[in-house]
Structure 1
Amino acid sequence: MGRAEERRARQRGGHRAAPSRRSAPTAGTGPAGGGGKSGKSLIRRMFTWKKILGTFFGVCLLGIAGFIGLYLYVDVPQGNAAAQRQSNVYKYSDGRVLARKGDVNREIVDLAKVPRKVQLTFVAAENKSFYHDSGVDFKGTARGLLNTLSGKGKQGGSTITQQYVKNFYLNQDQTVSRKLRELVISLKVDREKSKDEILAGYINTSYYGRNAYGIQAAAQAYYHVDAERLSVAQGAYLASLLQAPSQYDWAVATPTGKRLVQQRWNYVLDNMVEEGWLPKATRDGLKFPYPKTPKGAPGLDGQKGYLVELANQQLEQQLMEQEGLSRGQAESAVIDQGWTITLNIDRKKQAALEKAVKTELTSKLDKKRRKVDNDVQAGAVSVNPKNGKIVALYGGVDYYKHYFSNATRTDYQPASTFKPVILAAALEQNATTQDGKPITAGTIYDGTSRRQVLDQGAKVGFAPPNEDNRDYGDITVQKAMNASVNSVFAQMGVDVGMDKVMSTADKLGMDTKGMQAVPAQTLGSMGASPLEMAGIYATFDNHGYKVTPSILKSAENRGRSAHIPNAVGGSVISRTAADTVTSVLTGVVDDGTAQESVAGNPLRQGQEVAGKTGTSDCNRSAWFTGYTPDLVTSVGLFGEADKAGGTGCDGRPIKKNDHVSLKGAMGGGRVNGGGPPAKIWAAYTFGVTDEAEFDLNTTQGAAVEPTDTPTVSQSPSDTPSQTPSSKPPTSSAPPSNSPSDTPSQTPSSKPPSQSPSQSPSTGPPTDPATEDPLDPDSALDQ
């Protein structure tokens, strides 16, 4: 064999030998051991780098597909109700907080009302990348999921968007499903909302401790200011609180908690410097803003509840009229919905009215010695006649002790305070007596008690007694008003026409729906509230321009403002008629039933006053409604049974809350309108008004200076002149937007096509018709 062949043979042999050596049996191998060659090949075939990589990408694709499905499946839900409910805030006219009302102490504010640098303190504290991220911190979310699965509890790292979603759309549950929903919703919210909307939602829904939800409540709770007045240092503290509200509240924090919150506060400010949001020099000059001592949230005790109640009612009424809502819908739109409602209530006048009631009434009640003193209720409303603002209101001894507001309840008779309405109707209608003579302040009537009322010579079956059954004989309308002579005004009402009298009452502001136009109404036997009577007399004071008293100054909710209509409308009676009523009513004060308590009051400093007393039958109510040129106040005292027992004036068993007599209250006899009500009125009014004179356009009544030779005769005087009195008014008509002090001398007597709505009653339902105006034992009417 040649060398070449031998070499080839060795090569072939070597090539053949290699497989033989690889397949040679070794210890532990062979058929009995299962074979090494096949086992190694299977594992290597199953875990090749290609298959591992393919599996990884497959899982990723499945995850992406699952997330896409989840993203498409999960919608952004409606905000949860608990996160949206918030307190209504009620303020005095000067902006001071009167009360907060709501189950949740939250007031949502627009982001624009929060200083920009205060906004940034929250971003610096929670999420520096907030303005650049997609709304989700995937790393932090993954860490949170792992911690939840491993039972380690929740962990930080969520973005502001995620925290807002958790607060507003979801809940605080620590579950995998909730965290996944949070992730998806956060991505969607970030796409659908602006960063400012998200930040506003976050700071308005977060909890800050001290029962404060949202930045406005927190600003009040910790620094007693509104959010718009927060400083950067204060904002940084509030932002720090969100990490651990209870632990970081300085008022209750442990030394460790105080140290940690100061560290957190420094961390927030340093982040702001780092991000270029705060100059370092400014930051270095900031000192830790120690929070103020906690104080209880204002409640509805005392008069606050009555004020809040009327404010809600009037706002609901406006929403019903302006937005077409039902009563139920309007209530749902107002109660605990985050309104900031500013009232027309003047703090000083409110305090003065409360003091007057205490001084002249409640301090004199001895409920242990005199049972009747437990039955005395008082109500009062004070109105600026030039703009219709309710500047003070007294609803009862305490909102928590007496639910019904005595200021707005309409179940008691206004009694003789209704007599000026009859005179106004006579003057407005140019009415005449039975013999065709015009009715004026100088017209003479028969003032005999129980005189039979005649209608065109025919008896009408009505003959009311005067107080104490006193006969006055022939008497002028002026003197009949001074002495509150029932028989005169009963006849006058029939002369005018009771339908016209009730129509005038309606135009002036009394709710006459369902009232019968019968002669008995001349005694004020219908129901009325101090609020209504204040509005009627304010219209007299405002020269016939309709005044509908309003407690609302403004009402704002989530960036929108409710429209508050002008409380003063057009002319409903002529200026001459209104001014003549005022002139006549000055006689009641200076020479009539209010002389002792009002005209002779030592507090009076020259103020001109007009007004009328009223005392209902059986002495169940007593009134004084009076006014100066710039303030009208109606005060009513009401007998309301504190408990059941005994019998009333009508012989019926007395039930709790029934109308009962005031006789004997405060240790006296009959409670007349010229007594406690007039004293309350004077103590209040003369303390808050300055000397002023009425500007009257009339030639009639007690306010007009008499001529040298006054005419007194049986013949009625001439029709009221349009010529101004000795106190000449100016002659410009009031502008449409607001009443003028100098309306036209010849205003139209036509009523406006629409009259403002009446304020709702809050009194218990009682039928005024059950009162007997002919009760011989009644006080009728002072």
Structure 2
Amino acid sequence: MNAYGDPQNARARARVPGPSAASGPDDEDRPAPDAYRRPSGSAAVGSATPGRASVSGAAPVGGRASVGPATPGRASVSGAAPVGGRASVGGAAPVGGRASVGSAAVGSATPGRASVGAAAVGAASIGGRASVPPPGSGGGSGGLGDGGSGKRPRTKADKKYRRANILTAAAAVLVILVGAGIVGGTYFFDDVELPTPKAEAQMNLILNAKGQTLAKTGERRILVPYQEVTKVMADAVAAAEDKNFYHHNGIDMKGIARAAWNNMTGGNQQGASTITQQYARYVADLNEISYSRKLREAVIARKLESKYSKDQIMGLYLNYISLGQGRYGVEAAAQGYFGVSVKKGGSGKFKEINAYQAAAIASIIKQPYATASHPGYAPAANPPVTTIQRWEYTLKNMLEMGSISQEVWDKRVYPKPLPVSSSSTCKTCADGKPVAMILRHIKYELRQLGISEEQEKKGGLTITTTIDPIVQKAAEAAGSRKSEDSPLHGRPKTYQAAVIGLDPSNGEVLGYYGGDDPVGVDYAGYMDGDGKGVQVVGGGQSPASSFKIYTLAAALKANYSFKTIWNGELKRPGGKKISNAGQDPEDTCGGAISHCDLEQSTVKSYNFPFYWIASQLGEDKVIAAAKAAGINYMWTDRTDGHPNGERIDLNNSSESTWKSKFDPEVGMGQYRIVPLDHATGVATIVAQGVRHQTHFIKSLKMVDPTTGKLSTLKTITKEGTRVFDAAQMSDLSGVLQKIPEHAKHTLRNGRDAVAKSGSWELGDGSSSNGDAWFVGGIPQLAATVWVGGKDKRVPLTEASGKKMFGSNTPAEIWKRFIDTVTEKKNWDQEKFPPRTEGGDPSLGNGVAPVVQEQPVQDNSQVCDSVLDFICQNQDNGGNNNGGNDNNPGNNNNPGNNNNPFGDNNTGNNNTGGGGRNNDDDD
């Protein structure tokens, strides 16, 4: 080191008696020696070949320097030189070290070295010339290695260049001094604010209900509190980036001076030096590289050191650094590259990192990614030589720091990293699978819970979903046409299904299938992927008769009985008939269409009672019941103003709006809804009138960056709200339990189930159905199935070519889904509550026929006549007892012909027709 604390360039290094400064790797970045000119009276020394000129003793300005006898290859100049004195030479100096009277000249040949003793500093000219001023001159010069002496006249250019060098050097010194003043002044006057350490972005871990990983989102970063980081990892990083980290005060004044000089002279820009400075630059967003940045960086570094301990600063640094492959922080790197953890004692299935692995990770910091000119230092199966060298450099420093033993160093072997592909392989992960579609619902639900997009991006969330892997697999197997187990397998590619399984006791989504393409249309929820919710345009499907469960809930609430009678011959306003699956009126209700009861109409899915119920109650009452059950959105018919229909948010609109947007056909399921909303409503019916908020997040936890512990955040409540009367729901369930058998899709082992089918015509003059549903469930699982067109509505047919109804393929999917789940999970056969019938039977618009009893014939008067003996014979009994022939109960009971539940009530004959604008069922 010279008097300025900075080693000079190897071309002109001056040695001061005493401890010498060792050269270092930064020498090539040092400025040329001419920038440090000495004032008159000094001895400035260039390089000499092969001899060495030794100048010692105090040389006053203009003084005499005497050169005594010189040993071969060395010129010795000594003694005090008074003002204007001469220099005497005692002995010849070999080539490269000639001294003349009044001066000591050393040629510019390497590798000679000039040692300067206690000499006053003067100015040196280019080439490292050492001069002792001649008498009365105050200065002199020697030749550039030509062995001559004398004085060469300076040109104007020389003088100008000399003045520029002096000014540049003075400016650099001033900047450094001013910079030092800024560091001190700013520190004490607090002009530079200490930024708060950043809350690092990290991964979000999304799990299924069994704790298996579904997905990892966000940056691959896993925060580890500094208290938990193993010492070998921290030492490895210090060894690689800042060997003296635990011993300095946070700043590198040499680095600041170097940056200042290079910035002034246009040299190579320098980056941060200490670990504290690197973190200061990061936390304060000091991205430019300049002396001003270095000074500000130094202030922040000093403040960090005064506020935080070394371990804390190291912990902050370890969690932020980029380590290649998109990994940030040492824990993500340790798990990804080597399948280990930097936590003391390891973490879960990950063992604690060893010294070789730690050194490999620490070595990445210098060059985490490959460039055109550098392969990078990321661990690889066959690492390049440069990676091995960098690793050994780090490991060697660890040895010198005492972090590893000599034995560990001697036995060093570069650690074998995991294959790149294996770090991302996950059998339960959602990547590219149908279950990945639930990530859209997770994002939306996070917003509902108050987790902003920024918070989500910062990561650190552990999201346990409600998805049960058994139920999810069953939903995909039953609904995806790609599955060989699905009833849709081998059917047209234009067909699409949605299968949703909810836990009716708490609203958890156990299984969710909305399509095979996780980035395509969400046919089960029509959820956008931006976290804003259900799409506004083009969402939903017409639920058809499956919507009648809400019409019935509204009717029961209004005290309607399932015994109410309805007239199917009445026409709606305008004279339009109400279609009932296109069947002949003589076949409807067993020929009793004018007086059909509500219970049979529900099982057989006739439309006219539901139209008239909505008309009597008002459309708003039916919609209110649907909203209470769980329907959030409905779409109006397509109009010129709304070619895709207008979405009505039921939670943010009034009943007057509903009445103006919808007509009584809402009672039989004309208007589109979202299958997931419908699944919620179905679950409410299955739960006997208790609604739970449907949700995908079971639990939500966030990593505390200070402690590293998981804190539980608020999630959607699992508490239910009773929205329908329990007795009325038992009445409804009692009727809906008849439908699975009617549809010939009873569940395995005769398990109790409620259900409702529905299908809606394609329209535009087509008699084909475009939507087909089967919904319902068992006490432990509410299941909703929709089948329709992919991308657009298409005619739906069975494999046989017949028209598809809800009680066909959708019912088969529904049955297969529930049967698989109950078998795999070995659920008990729970039953629904006993039915409690109620309501007023007189509220319908039909009239039951009056059944007149036949009078009993009185033969007593005849017996009083001459035929008395015949009566006596009859009274005696026998085979001709008039009771056998005349009992009206045998032949005249009108129940055989007129009872709507009688012999002519054949559901199987009612499956062929289709109403043009209304529901087709069965």
Same-fold call, TM > 0.5? yes
| SS of residue matched to 2:303 | helix
Offset from partner CA, 1:235-278 (integer Å, 9 cap, x none): 55433433444544333543525644663675587578x36xx9
Q: Structure 1 CA distance, aligned partners of 2:752 and 2:778?
A: 6
Say whether the 8 Å CA contact 2:546–2:756 is kept in structure 1: yes
Q: Structure 1 CA distance, aligned partners of 2:478 and 2:340?
A: 32
| SS of residue matched to 1:537 | helix
TM-superposed deviation, 1:564: 0.6
Tell me what 2:547 maps to.
418
| SS of residue matched to 2:582 | helix
TM-superposed deviation, 1:311: 0.6
For 1:524, give the aligned amino acid: G
Q: Structure 2 CA distance, aligned partners of 1:625 and 1:679?
A: 11
1:294 corresponds to 2:414: no
Change (3 A) 1:39 1:141: closer
Q: Structure 2 CA distance, aligned partners of 1:24 and 1:663?
A: 116
1:319 corresponds to 2:441: no
| SS of residue matched to 2:737 | helix
1:341 corresponds to 2:456: no
Q: Structure 1 CA distance, aligned partners of 2:796 and 2:818?
A: 26
Tell me what 2:658 maps to.
515
Change (3 A) 1:157 1:174: closer
Q: Structure 2 CA distance, aligned partners of 1:333 and 1:23?
A: 76
Q: Structure 2 CA distance, aligned partners of 1:667 and 1:261?
A: 71
Q: Structure 2 CA distance, aligned partners of 1:542 and 1:498?
A: 25
Change (3 A) 1:556 1:186: farther
| SS of residue matched to 1:382 | strand
1:256 corresponds to 2:392: no
Say whether the 8 Å CA contact 1:127–1:160 is kept in structure 2: yes
Tell me what 1:625 maps to.
775
Please give the TM-score of this superposition, normalised by the length of structure 2: 0.58
Offset from partner CA, 1:471-497 (integer Å, 9 cap, x none): 223444333222212122223344555
Q: Structure 2 CA distance, aligned partners of 1:279 and 1:626?
A: 69
Say whether the 8 Å CA contact 1:444–1:715 is kept in structure 2: no
1:365 corresponds to 2:491: yes
Tell me what 1:96 maps to.
212
Say whether the 8 Å CA contact 1:498–1:519 is kept in structure 2: yes
For 1:466, give the aligned amino acid: N
Change (3 A) 1:696 1:23: closer
1:445 corresponds to 2:565: yes
Listed as ranges, the matches of 1:369-384 within 5 Å are 373-374=493-494, 376-384=495-503
Offset from partner CA, 1:108-129 (integer Å, 9 cap, x none): 5252795544764555544566
1:588 corresponds to 2:739: yes
TM-superposed deviation, 1:426: 2.6
Q: How many residues align?
A: 617
| SS of residue matched to 2:787 | strand
1:506 corresponds to 2:611: no
1:536 corresponds, among 655, 669, 681, to 681
Q: Structure 2 CA distance, aligned partners of 1:153 and 1:679?
A: 74
1:109 corresponds, among 223, 241, 262, to 223
> Alignment RMSD, CA only?
4.6
Tell me what 1:685 maps to.
818
Tell me what 1:211 maps to.
326
2:516 corresponds, among 371, 394, 397, to 397
Q: Structure 1 CA distance, aligned partners of 2:175 and 2:292?
A: 20
For 2:779, give the aligned amino acid: P
Offset from partner CA, 1:716-775 (integer Å, 9 cap, x none): 9xxxxxxxxxxxxxxxxxxxxxxxxxxxxxxxxxxxxxxxxxxxxxxxxxxxxxxxxx96
Tell me what 2:314 maps to.
199
Q: Which has the higher contact order (CA 8 A, sep 6+)?
A: 1
Q: 106-115 or 161-170: which moved more?
A: 106-115
1:612 corresponds to 2:756: yes
Q: If each structure's helix is expressed as a fraction of its own residues, which one has the higher value?
A: 1
Offset from partner CA, 1:116-170 (integer Å, 9 cap, x none): 4476455554456656643334456656777888999688983332222344433
Change (3 A) 1:674 1:285: farther
1:553 corresponds to 2:698: yes
Q: Structure 2 CA distance, aligned partners of 1:527 and 1:580?
A: 27
Q: Structure 2 CA distance, aligned partners of 1:553 and 1:212?
A: 28
Q: Structure 1 CA distance, aligned partners of 2:719 and 2:84?
A: 116
| SS of residue matched to 1:400 | coil
Q: Structure 1 CA distance, aligned partners of 2:564 and 2:408?
A: 84
Say whether the 8 Å CA contact 2:478–2:817 is kept in structure 1: yes
Change (3 A) 1:252 1:69: farther
TM-superposed deviation, 1:589: 0.8
Please give the TM-score of this superposition, normalised by the length of structure 1: 0.67
TM-superposed deviation, 1:629: 1.7
1:134 corresponds, among 249, 258, 269, to 249
Q: Structure 2 CA distance, aligned partners of 1:25 and 1:212?
A: 71
For 1:446, give the aligned amino acid: W
Tell me what 1:570 maps to.
721
Tell me what 1:780 maps to.
920
Listed as ranges, the matches of 1:262-281 within 5 Å are 263=392, 266-267=395-396, 270=399, 274=402
Q: Structure 2 CA distance, aligned partners of 1:606 and 1:225?
A: 52
TM-superposed deviation, 1:383: 1.2
Q: Structure 2 CA distance, aligned partners of 1:615 and 1:146?
A: 81
Offset from partner CA, 1:434-457 (integer Å, 9 cap, x none): xxxxx13xx153373x6446xxxx
Tell me what 1:756 maps to.
none
Q: Structure 2 CA distance, aligned partners of 1:607 and 1:284?
A: 71
| SS of residue matched to 1:505 | helix
Say whether the 8 Å CA contact 1:413–1:616 is kept in structure 2: yes
Change (3 A) 1:612 1:195: farther
For 1:625, give the aligned amino acid: V
1:353 corresponds to 2:489: no
Q: Structure 2 CA distance, aligned partners of 1:279 and 1:362?
A: 66
Structure 1: tracts of 5 or more residues without a match: 1-21, 30-34, 43-54, 321-329, 367-372, 433-438, 454-458, 643-656, 702-712, 717-773
Q: 311-320 or 692-701: which moved more?
A: 692-701
1:241 corresponds, among 358, 364, 369, to 364
Bigger Rg over Cα: 2
Say whether the 8 Å CA contact 1:607–1:692 is kept in structure 2: no
For 1:301, give the aligned amino acid: G
| SS of residue matched to 2:251 | coil
Q: 246-255 or 205-214: which moved more?
A: 246-255
Q: Structure 1 CA distance, aligned partners of 2:224 and 2:364?
A: 21
| SS of residue matched to 1:364 | coil
Say whether the 8 Å CA contact 1:364–1:666 is kept in structure 2: no
Change (3 A) 1:250 1:488: same
TM-superposed deviation, 1:566: 1.0
TM-superposed deviation, 1:179: 3.4
Listed as ranges, the matches of 1:217-228 within 5 Å are 217-223=332-338, 228=347
Tell me what 2:125 maps to.
none
Tell me what 2:110 maps to.
none
